[in-house]
Structures are given as structure tokens and as C-alpha cells.
Structure 1
């Protein structure tokens, strides 16, 4: 099939618009992480031009259902958020971790090799929500993962298992 340039440009623009709308950051925030989990969206946002602050948002077409810090508050400093990494065969897992009440949230991006004969590479992004160390929800991004969109070394390092 031959594509003419206007049709291809239109498809690309539609795809980019859909990707841009699949996040919960405001126009004055940079998208650090965002993905679809079913009909819901998970996003980590950072104020434009400001390092050291993050906001987590979860919601659907009807808007944000959960925001940390709470809706209307400025993005939190690094205090509530931490960075955890774990090496894996053929890659690793990077997690942005924060506590909200009795719950621990881990927004993660994983790159590894499968435990099959070919050691097939794969990626996975998502969110794990724990209470008392027990996993309550494990939401995996539908697209397999685009990962974190920027380097997060400015976050304080934490041990996700003990936080």
C-alpha cells in the first residue's frame, strides 16, 4: 500500500494527539511518566522548568480520581517521593515510590529478558499499590511501557522494600 504524504501526516498527527491526551498533567507541567491501564490513566507530572517536584495523578475520562499531593496543591518536593532501582538480567526496574496514608505506591518501568529459551527482551510499566507490604493492586500499562520520559537521579534514593 502506498501512502501519500498528507494522509501519512494526518495519521501521525492523530496518533500524537491521542498520545498527548493520554496523560493527566496540566499544560504548565512536563509529563515524566504516563500510560493507560484499561480506561484509566496514570501520570507523574513535574512543573515546567522546575526540578525537584512531582505530582502523581490517576483517573479516567471523567477527570482525576486521585492526586498526590491532593488536587489543587503544588507538586510536592522530593520529600514524599523516592527513587528505587533493582538490576535484572538484561535490564532493571526503576520505581518512583511514595506513601499516602497506609498505602505505598510504586510507579515502575521494567526492562528485562524473559525466562524462555530465547531470553526474549521485554518492557513493562505500571503501578503497584501496597498496604502493610501486601500488594493490593498491580496495574500494568496496556502499551507495555514507554518508561520514564526523563532522568530521575535528582530524587532521593530509597529501598522500596523498607520504605
Structure 2
């Protein structure tokens, strides 16, 4: 009897590892199979994804930012699955004839700005100073979904962030 129980435990552990390793697939970026892809792109060997579930308004469902690889999510924000109001915001940026959309969040004294439009990518600022900027590679790009506007609070541009 103990042999069967140990075998079951080993199978359960192996099955759990298998599920965990395949939870994020290439076609979905870093979004889970049940999550809607709001945005996803490859940055070098890594992927940046904005994922949502039940996000019909800023007060429903959740939105998550993930960065890393399918095997190693380096950053997931927020940690909890909570509604996006007060966590994410979205702004339309117009620079003459060029328009951008910025999806923003603040974490550990840093402002993260996912941008889409003429070009796509992310930049991170601290105290208004650029820390890093990464452009998306054109292949494997899933442009910002218009559905993000219904679930993320729209706010006016902020000079220190949306420049």
C-alpha cells in the first residue's frame, strides 16, 4: 500500500511540474491560457505581456504585467489578482501627427510605461529620469488591444512620465 501512495505522490509532483512548466506558452506570450492578451512582445530573449481576466471595467477582474520567459517570470505586477483601478492607467499621447498609447503602473519608486503606436515597447523611469528603454521586436508582436480601454482607467498624460 505504501508503494502505491509513494508512486501517486511522485506522479502528482511530476504532473504539477509539468503543468507549471507549460502554463505559459509561446503563442500567448506570458499570459495564462484563460487570460486575455492585452499586449505582448518579444524583447531579446524575453517577453513582456499585459494580461487580463474579467476586466470589463477598472473595478472588475484583473490586469497583470509579466516580464521574463515562460520558464522564469522575472517580474509579475501586481502580486495579487485585483481590479486595475489605482494600479494601472492608460493615456493617449499625441505628438503632432504621431499618436501613442501609454499603459502605466508604479512599482518600487519606478514608473513603468508600456507604449504602443508608431513603435512599441517599454520604458522605466525613476524620479523622472530614464532608467531603461526596450523596443519590441516586430515579429511576435501582439499590439495593444482596444479592449484595454474598457478595463483600465483612462487618465490625462502626466508631464514627468508621458514625455
Give the TM-score, by structure 2 length.
0.70
Structure 2 residue aligned with 1:69:
78
Given that 2:55 and 2:63 are in contact with CA atoms closer than 8 Å, whether structure 1 keeps it comes out as no
Once the two structures are superposed, residues 78-109 of structure 1 have per-residue CA deviations (whole angstroms, 9 ceiling, x without a partner) of 21111111113443010001100200000010
**Could you say what the CA RMSD is over the residues aligned between the two structures, in angstroms?**
2.2
Distance in 1 (CA, whole Å) between partners of 2:48 and 2:82 is 16
Tell me if structure 2 keeps the 8 A contact 1:81–1:156. no
* Distance of 1:63 and 1:29 partners within structure 2: 18
Alignment length (residue pairs): 131
> Which of these residues, 120, 143, 146, is aligned with residue 147 of structure 1?
143
Distance 2:101 2:43 in 1: 18
Instruction: Tell me what 1:130 maps to.
Output: 125
Give 1:77 shift. 2.2
Looking at structure 2, the residues matched to 78 and 42 of structure 1 have their Cα atoms a distance apart, in angstroms, of: 21
User: Gaps spanning 5+ residues in structure 1: where?
Assistant: 1-17, 112-123
Q: Residue 92 of structure 2 aligns with which residue?
A: 85
Alpha carbons 2:116, 2:143 under 8 Å: kept: yes
The answer as to whether partners of 1:55 and 1:69 remain within 8 angstroms in 2 is yes
Q: Which has the larger helix fraction?
A: 2
Answer 1 or 2: which has greater strand percent.
Answer: 1
CA distance in 2, matches of 1:101, 1:24: 22
Q: Secondary structure at the match of 2:148?
A: coil
Alignment-derived partner of residue 156 in structure 1: 154
Structure 2 unaligned regions, length at least 5: 1-24
Higher RCO structure (Cα 8 Å, ≥6 apart)? 2
**What is the alpha-carbon distance in structure 2 between the residues aligned to residue 61 and residue 77 of structure 1?**
24
Verify the 8 A CA contact 1:125 1:146 in the aligned structure 2.
Answer: no
Question: What TM-score, normalized to structure 1?
Answer: 0.70
Distance 2:68 2:27 in 1: 15
SS in 2 for 1:20: helix
Residue 20 of structure 1: aligned partner: 27
Whether the 8 Å CA contact 2:91–2:102 is kept in 1: the answer is: yes
